[in-house]
Amino acid sequence: MKTSDFDYALPPEFIAQTPIEPRDHSRLMILDRNNGSLKHHRFFEIIDYLRAGDVLILNNSRVIPARLSARKVDGGSRLEVLLLRRLCPNIWETLVRPANRVSIGTKIEIANDSVTDDKPGLPITAKAIGSNEGGEQVLSFSDETRLLELGQIPLPPYIHIPLLNPERYQTVYAQVAGSIAAPTAGLHFTPELMTKIEKKRVRCLSVTLHIGLDTFRPVRVENPKEHPIHQEYGIISQEVAEELAQAKTEGRRIICVGTTTVRLVEAAAQASSPARVAPFAGWVSLLIVPGHQFRIIDAMITNFHLPRSTTLMLATAFAGRDLIHQAYQEAITQQYRFYSFGDAMLIF
């Protein structure tokens, strides 16, 4: 298995730049792993493929305003800082661009457009105190309490049109702040669709996985298993763990909304007894590639992913290489919309 096995050519015009309105009118491809069939629907028709007793697992993580404008204190060069994760009070792992302008000891100042002559305020400063192999910079901030007030919601680098409504890059059930990217498979749900799903006696359960770099960073090594996956913090409560265990015992389907929920529940299952999810709170660094033995999930909802990405590898591990290849070629032929604001697939 090589990273190049997960490459494909996508015409740039198929990369969705804006979200569909309403949310649940995006397209939905249905992949049946048993017979290899593909069907085309609209997302709101997913209700026809759900049945009473199913368990739908949702990632309730909320995107934080993690993109900050900054400048070097010495020289004034403009910088952009992307907060990745909080390591301890006032210490964050970040991405700084341009990266070659920052080294250990570099001091920067976070831009604060709200500060004026008649409305003074102390600037937030930061110092580079470390770096990681993946190019991330560790910054120590003078005051993190106001940090997120100065930031903007970060959009993936392949989206070039400004988002007029930042809430459109949040799921309707987002609650727990901490991600730098949205769990995009969940962007298709509306409150009305959620109500219909619950009326069908489908159990909707929330877990939390704060999404990091790997949602849009390509794998650069030729052997995917050597990819240093970015750790993400996840939580599965006692109540949710018990309900998942009961559903598994009773043979009811567990359907994950998004690759993030798949990685979280599968990581939790690996950390506990076979075929059971225990309560979980900790860092997740599970890389799922073809050959992975899925312990918990029976179906998944996901978007169409970037070439050479860990998310595409996960979808391939679940659906099989041939079916995913067929589905992506069909999606291109049928002019589906790809990536974060794009269309979705249900794999069962």
**What is the average per-residue pLDDT within 87-93?**
94
**What is the average per-residue pLDDT within 289-298?**
94
The answer for 198, left when phi > 0, alpha when psi is -120 to 50, beta otherwise, is alpha
CB 304 within 8 A of CB 331: yes
Q: What pLDDT is recorded for position 121?
A: 62
Q: Which two tokens stand for residue 324?
A: 């995913």
**What is the average per-residue pLDDT within 149-165?**
92
Going from the N-terminus, what domains does the chain have, and what CATH number goes with each? 3-63+159-347 (3.40.1780.10), 67-150 (2.40.10.240)
Residue-wise pLDDT for 203-245, tens only, equals 999 999 999 887 667 788 899 888 878 889 999 999 999 999 9
CB 151 within 8 A of CB 65: yes
Residue-wise pLDDT for 106-132, tens only, equals 999 998 754 444 445 678 999 999 988
> In angstroms, rounded to a whole number, what is the distance separating the alpha carbons of residues 33 and 172?
29
Q: What backbone phi and psi angles, to 5 degrees, belong to 39?
A: -130, 150
CB 285 within 8 A of CB 272: no
> In angstroms, rounded to a whole number, what is the distance separating the alpha carbons of residues 203 and 205?
6
